Structure 1
């Protein structure tokens, strides 16, 4: 009955990846064409995640009151309008194009925030005997979206030139418009009645929920800290062009991320979720440290890519873990977890970048890395400190398992 709904959610997750990953591929072009600096384009990333967090929190109560359908349709329209504004920014905001980029970011980020709030909730509410698998399969489409967006956008820019970027953005705007009509037709699972729902205040009184919320924060930080910096690491350490760095670093990371989620989606019933997340976190600790301290930049890059495998279940696993423990929480649970994950996704890469800027030679405490230049050592130093995220994740997962056993 809900197969068409599940397919629409999968495409929605793909579009969510589009909203986060398309603009950064164009940042260098924006800097050249509009005279922007790194701080200005970085502000667009913070604006994106900030709007997603605010949107998730603001809309949780209205979604519970009026249902999923009007808001998931609104989300797709906001992404569509945002991408149209992005493509037309040079024409509509000729005197201050940066203002156009900011407005576009606000629009599609509202849509992305609603995706984070609703897509997991819709999938979780569809009857199935493998909730963990269904949730991880949904989130795998985010990873496939990263690959598709990076590869196709980079290829189109190479073929048609950097000046073609507005037309490429217009091409991508077709996807949310198409999925708008998908969601217009599909059935939605029945919503919980108000009297059945767990009150938000009771959620935040639960020790277990606070552990899950902290877990998705550090899970998001673990995943995004490495994925956001992998292409830059490939460029600075291996001397690769940005296009090659994006293709080699980001897409391979996303390939392991999506592959692990898809595999768990198919076989997840055979594995304990929290134990699998713990093993993945341990792998991330090892790969973070290997990326930071390996004398070979190629091995360090492989370690960054393999973090996609280790971090794959941390975000979707946290969502399904929370939803399974609080099945009647309604949208407030998904809003809190979406906000927590997005906050971690913003904080983690920021901290790695901060350490790379203020303590670029930190990894040179290892004598075998004396040969590195400050530029080559900077990101390694950031990743060294970033290893604290999966370490904390292991502690949180251990506490959750202890709570389950009592």
Structure 2
């Protein structure tokens, strides 16, 4: 009876199950990036951590993920996607679980938080590097719509993290945040079980030998897509990171309302754009969608419309991934990792430029964010140039 049941389970596990596991993987990455920032003020009061140290927690999280983006391809292809994904989920779950005890057990609570954040940041970085190539390698009918749908789940994960955490704190009290951290760890634990069984194809199996670092760097198309990824990350994070503060100061509402209207509203609109392309993308050329989105994004920066900006940037990241995967057929895991690295650099640069500009302009957040309009303008120029070059037949496959 047990054997028959196991056989039935295995027969029901297909590449659709793999896609589901990958979607959940991006939800986990959203939890990794968005849960702890909700606790910064709590950490400050409970552990007597200075604001400068809290800033370091943000820096460490993204610095570790950037490092993983850079080094993961060196071992992911060697040990295999499955082992790498299992490791990502173990580290993500461990980081959340240790956060419930380590800050209280170590002499320095800050050191305990750093260890936990670094641990789940490695897991989040591995997920970012590996999930997209796994989805790209799956035998799906339309790669572009699958990629867009995949990235929409990061947005749903971000919105769910903010909403469910806010509800939990309102009901149980923020002093019980350790319980919520333990509950969030269940998500990577369950997905770890899925990755024990799901079928996983690799890009090397479907497309042959992948290009090396030197070959990619010498490919103008790849550098072009890196620029687009940098702009995609900057366009997205410049507004999303300041959305709550702008809503709070501009609309004169509470921080909780600012989080829900600004941060969560941005995430929902961004996820909606990705889900819509995932549903109807087969009927609309990706480049036309990215062109329209670029124009809309420039307009949203001029208006400082948080939700409008969320909708406009939704296709940038997954769209650039899809275009690069279609044009650079032998890019492999390394290409996805380096594109993610470029995107993460944009995620760091955009909000930083807006914040510094705001400070120089008399703490005017409106004008500070407006300075970030340079990124959607560059993205618009890139899409126009790409469309013109493809129409003229100048841009060829990366292997030619």
String of CA shifts for 1:283-320, please: whole Å, max 9, x gaps.
111111112xxxxxxxxxxx111101100011111111
Match of 1:75 among 88, 92, 96: 88
1:309 and 1:56, CA in 2 relative to 1: closer, same or farther beyond 3 A? Answer: same
String of CA shifts for 1:212-258, please: whole Å, max 9, x gaps.
01101110100011111111111122222211111111111111111
When structure 1 is superposed on structure 2, of 10-19 and 193-202 the one drifting more is 193-202
Q: Measure, in 2, the Cα distance between the counterparts of 1:358 and 1:40.
A: 23
Match of 1:140 among 152, 165, 168: 152
Aligned to 1:237: 250
Q: Measure, in 1, the Cα distance between the counterparts of 2:51 and 2:349.
A: 17
- The Cα shift of 1:190 comes to 4.4
Aligned positions of 1:149-298 closer than 5 A:
149-192=161-204, 196-291=209-304
Q: Would you say how many aligned residue pairs link Structure 1 and Structure 2? A: 378
String of CA shifts for 1:255-286, please: whole Å, max 9, x gaps.
11111101100111112212211211211111
Does residue 404 of structure 1 match 2:398?
Answer: no
Contact kept, 8 Å, 2:244 with 2:255, in 1: the verdict is yes
Q: Measure, in 2, the Cα distance between the counterparts of 1:280 and 1:37.
A: 40
Contact kept, 8 Å, 1:61 with 1:331, in 2: the verdict is no
Contact kept, 8 Å, 1:208 with 1:403, in 2: the verdict is no
Aligned to 2:375: 389
Q: Measure, in 2, the Cα distance between the counterparts of 1:289 and 1:330.
A: 38
TM-score by length of 1: 0.90
Aligned to 2:20: 7
Match of 1:116 among 103, 120, 128: 128
Contact kept, 8 Å, 1:208 with 1:400, in 2: the verdict is no
- The Cα shift of 1:35 comes to 2.1
Q: CA-atom RMSD, angstroms?
A: 1.4
- List structure 1 segments (4+ residues) > 3 angstroms apart after TM superposition: none
- The Cα shift of 1:191 comes to 4.8
Q: Measure, in 2, the Cα distance between the counterparts of 1:402 and 1:129.
A: 27
Does residue 333 of structure 1 match 2:335?
Answer: yes
- The Cα shift of 1:82 comes to 0.9
Aligned to 2:397: none
Q: Alignment partner of 2:377: what SS?
A: helix
Contact kept, 8 Å, 1:287 with 1:307, in 2: the verdict is yes
Q: Alignment partner of 2:211: what SS?
A: coil
